[in-house]
Amino acid sequence: DGGITQSPKYLFRKEGQNVTLSCEQNLNHDAMYWYRQDPGQGLRLIYYSQIVNDFQKGDIAEGYSVSREKKESFPLTVTSAQKNPTAFYLCASSSDYEQYFGPGTRLTVT
């Protein structure tokens, strides 16, 4: 079954800790994206990558970091520098303009 997996579905962390969200795809897509969704807001782009070992900042990259060592994987690290990390995080991949989304990770930082 082709698709995008994100784990875990729910994640809880204490303030000041870094946390890494996993995203894996087996769709053989070159491009991968990270978004966050907050209540009443659309999806905002954090980082994106079109090819292995290359990635670009999106609209709200501050406090986040990513890596793209393999085509299938695009992990997102939420660092302690991110001021409001509690949110729903979505990973997507695409081969053209239609993006396919994973099920999301709800991160709660207290």
Which residues of this protein are in contact with another protein, per CB under 8 A? Answer: 4, 6, 9, 31, 33, 35, 40-45, 48, 50, 56, 58, 88, 90, 92, 94, 96-104, 106
Q: Report the nearest approach of another protein to the CB of residue 102 (Å).
A: 5
Q: Is the Cβ–Cβ distance between 36 and 90 less than 8 Å?
A: yes
Beta carbon nearer to another protein, 13 or 44: 44
Closest to another protein by CB, 11 vs 31, is 31
**C-beta of 63: minimal distance to another protein in Å?**
20
- Residue 106: closest CA among 4, 22, 8: 8
CA distances from 29 to 9, 22, 77 (A): 22, 16, 21
Q: What is the dihedral of CA 22, 106, 61, 69, to 10 degrees?
A: 0
Rounded to a whole number of angstroms, the minimum distance from the CB of residue 85 to another protein is 18
